[in-house]
Structure 1
Amino acid sequence: MSDNWTPPEGSWASSAARRRNMQAIRSRDTTPERLIRRLVHAQGLRYRVGARPLADLRRTADMVFRPTKIAVFIDGCYWHGCPEHYVSPKTNPGYWSDKVARNMARDRDTDQRLTEAGWTVLRFWEHEPSEDCAARIAAEVEKRRTAIRSTKPDS
């Protein structure tokens, strides 16, 4: 790329290199997601990946357990504003801080909408131990399955 590169109209990229870097960031199938999914799958649990819990809500969960109405999100520390690890960027901090704030507000809105629809929302930070996340997911799925079985009339 030439030194006189200018970002496209309305672009968030401060340079061509930054644009390439940001475009390469995965929105699904991150390493923490894959690790947790593998551990949950090894426990015999099945789920949907990158699915919408609610058809009319244009948001996807990382793992969806439809029968038990459990939506799992594994949030990246930077993109979702982890209180332990988020550091405001040095370049274009106003834009990125606003972006992260919007992501956090959308996360709270998603949690509220799913909860109101009878779903259990489980959120984990990418830095949390995968084994702990998988154990909490499995425990919640079993708890919800037990609750569903106890409310069904005997046949």
Structure 2
Amino acid sequence: MTNPTRSRTASPRPDFADVPDARRRNLAAVKAKDTKPELLIRRGLFAMGYRFRLHDRQLPGRPDIVFPGRRSAVEVRGCFWHRHGCANSVVPKTRTEWWTQKLDGNVERDRTNAISLEAAGWRLLVVWECEVRQNLGDVLGHIRDFLAAPRPHDKVRSS
């Protein structure tokens, strides 16, 4: 039975019967939320005094960190899964065609979600896993600047 809330245009999953059990366990352990880079950012933001919501189901793509009062969201993306283009985003050498299609679908979904968020009046900042690993302090500073920027619905007051 298909799930009516999730329509997919992709072809059915290929047969992965020949995939080794160790590889299956490895990929099954990959988390979609509460990843190490995401937790580092959340801890840093909380220490800086920011309060936020997590994975708001009412927003397109369920962004990782949501600031409702600021109508802003931060998405922490894994370089491999979202094809950042850095050294961590190499396509595997086995089942290359399948992986390319899978990862391209992720990128397209990210783009669609970002457009939908913006159309709903939200701002989105994308933070990459490699940036968090290289310099968490710079990333937190960038998020602080992003959150401090005037929002589109703010009125400029003249004195």
Inter-partner Cα distance in structure 2 for 1:12 and 1:124: 32
Q: TM-score, normalised by structure 2?
A: 0.78
Instruction: Flag as ranges the 4+ runs of structure 1 deviating above 3 A.
Output: 9-13, 144-148
> Against the structure 1 CA distance between its residues 65 and 15, is the aligned structure 2 distance closer, same or farther, given a 3 Å change threshold?
same
CA distances 1:7-53 after superposition (whole Å, capped 9, x unpaired): xx855572322211111011111111111111111110000122235
Amino acid at match of 1:38: R
Contact 1:53 1:66 in 2 (8 A): no
2:122 aligned residue? 119
Per-residue deviation at 1:151?
Answer: 5.9
Contact 1:32 1:126 in 2 (8 A): yes
Contact 1:64 1:72 in 2 (8 A): yes
How many residues align structurally? 140
Q: SS in structure 2 opposite 1:25?
A: coil
Inter-partner Cα distance in structure 2 for 1:87 and 1:93: 10
Q: For structure 1, which runs of at least 5 residues remain unmatched after alignment?
A: 1-8
Per-residue deviation at 1:143?
Answer: 2.2
RMSD: 2.3
2:66 aligned residue? 64
1:35 aligned residue? 40
Contact 1:36 1:131 in 2 (8 A): no
Percent identity between the two aligned chains: 36
Amino acid at match of 1:41: F
Inter-partner Cα distance in structure 2 for 1:38 and 1:20: 29
Contact 1:50 1:62 in 2 (8 A): yes
Q: For structure 2, which runs of at least 5 residues remain unmatched after alignment?
A: 1-12
